[in-house]
Amino acid sequence: MTGPQIVWTRIDERLLHGQIRITWGKHSEANLILVANDEAAEGPNAAFMQAGMKASAGGEYAVRFFSIQKTIDVIHKASPKQKIFILCNNPTDVARLVEGGVPITHCNVGNMHYHDGKRQIAKTVSVDKTDILAFEKMVEKGVTCTVQNTPDQTPINVLELAKTAA
């Protein structure tokens, strides 16, 4: 059996919303969006979060909400027919997936909002030391990490951006 067919992995603090469905879903040719996020899968507001995200998917995609650990545990059982778009809201979760054996080769960084303690490295991306360490772990495991808000933009290496913005 071959591994899971992961067609796109994206970090977007907003998780599943209209831009994902309209732009990235079509671009990636995914048929399943996997929201890998502990809070959305099992948190106290999970049902509310899931309802809003399912509505954003517009019925065009199968949508799953798994914790990071459940994603690691079950991703290799995916059907070969599933073209999986993994969606996380921070680089630490993607790094955990990679370290757990999820075969991610590219991580697209879209929206990581500015918060206290973070510095802006691109129009829609702000990072702190924890984020940088997570990206470094991914790169060490062979994952390409690029900032690209929409498919028509040129992808830019996230660690290069972080160095020049230092």
**What are the helix and strand counts (H, E) for the chain?**
8, 9
Question: What's the angle, vertex CA 55, arms to CA 53 and CA 56, rounded to 5?
Answer: 65
Q: Show the tokens assigned to 153.
A: 């933009």
3-state SS of the chain: helix, strand, coil percent to 5? Answer: 40, 25, 35
Q: Known catalytic residue: 17?
A: yes
CA-CA distance, 138 to 135, in Å (whole number)?
Answer: 5
| Selection from 34, 80, 89 nearest residue 57 by Cα | 34
Q: Show the tokens assigned to 35.
A: 């929201």
User: Which of these is catalytic: 17, 106, 113, 115?
Assistant: 17
Question: 75: Cβ–Cβ under 8 A, 6 or more apart, which residues?
Answer: 4, 6, 84, 102, 103
Active-site residues, by number, are 17
